[in-house]
Amino acid sequence: MLFLQEPRFWAAIAFILFFVLFGKKIWRPLAAMMDKRSAQIQAALEEASRLRREAEEIYTNARKEHEAAKEEAERMLQNSKEIAARIAAKAKKDAEFAAERHEQLIRQRMAASEQEAISVVRKEAAEIAVKAAREVIASVMTEEKDKSLIDHAIAEVPKMLAKDQYNA
């Protein structure tokens, strides 16, 4: 009976008696408290699960919206590039048209200047020819030749007038 003198033995007996006598009274509130805590944890887990699903849905929707916005931005960028290309082509065409028109105006001005220069040269040549003819006629013509030419011209006037009447 040595084990009856051992304090550990009596402590173990007291522990077992304590649980046998008060176990039911302590176990019920303890179990209820643990069940309540378990229910709270379960509710928190369900809430966390629900929030996670919602977050995943929000993330999926945001990702879809991001992709749609990205595609829209790419379409807008492509449209902008096409519009810019059309504007550049139109500007180039307008510039070429303006250059051609400007070149045409310059050619017209050059042709007019050329015609004016030709006209001035012809006028000067005619004046020089007239002066030269006067000088030649004055040096070659004598009074007798002059009279015979004038008489001949006067005689030809009625014939010329008659001729003009038939042509008209």
The rounded average pLDDT for each run of 10 residues, N- to C-terminus, in the chain (168 residues) is 80 87 80 92 96 96 95 95 94 92 94 91 88 79 76 83 67
User: Does residue 103 lie within any of the structural domains?
Assistant: yes
User: Does residue 32 lie within any of the structural domains?
Assistant: no
What pTM does this model have? 0.41
What is the model's pLDDT at position 23? Answer: 77
User: Does residue 104 lie within any of the structural domains?
Assistant: yes
Tally of CB atoms within 10 A around 32: 10
User: Does residue 66 lie within any of the structural domains?
Assistant: yes
Alpha carbon of residue 25 to chain centroid: 85
What is the model's pLDDT at position 104? Answer: 94
Tally of CB atoms within 10 A around 99: 10
What is the model's pLDDT at position 168? Answer: 55
Tally of CB atoms within 10 A around 130: 10
What is the model's pLDDT at position 5? Answer: 81
User: Does residue 154 lie within any of the structural domains?
Assistant: yes
Rounded CA separation 168/160 (Å): 12
- How many domains, the chain? 1
What is the model's pLDDT at position 25? Answer: 81
The residue range of the domain holding 143 is: 37-167
User: Does residue 16 lie within any of the structural domains?
Assistant: no
What residue type is 144 in one-letter code?
Answer: E
User: Does residue 23 lie within any of the structural domains?
Assistant: no
User: Does residue 93 lie within any of the structural domains?
Assistant: yes
What is the model's pLDDT at position 97? Answer: 92
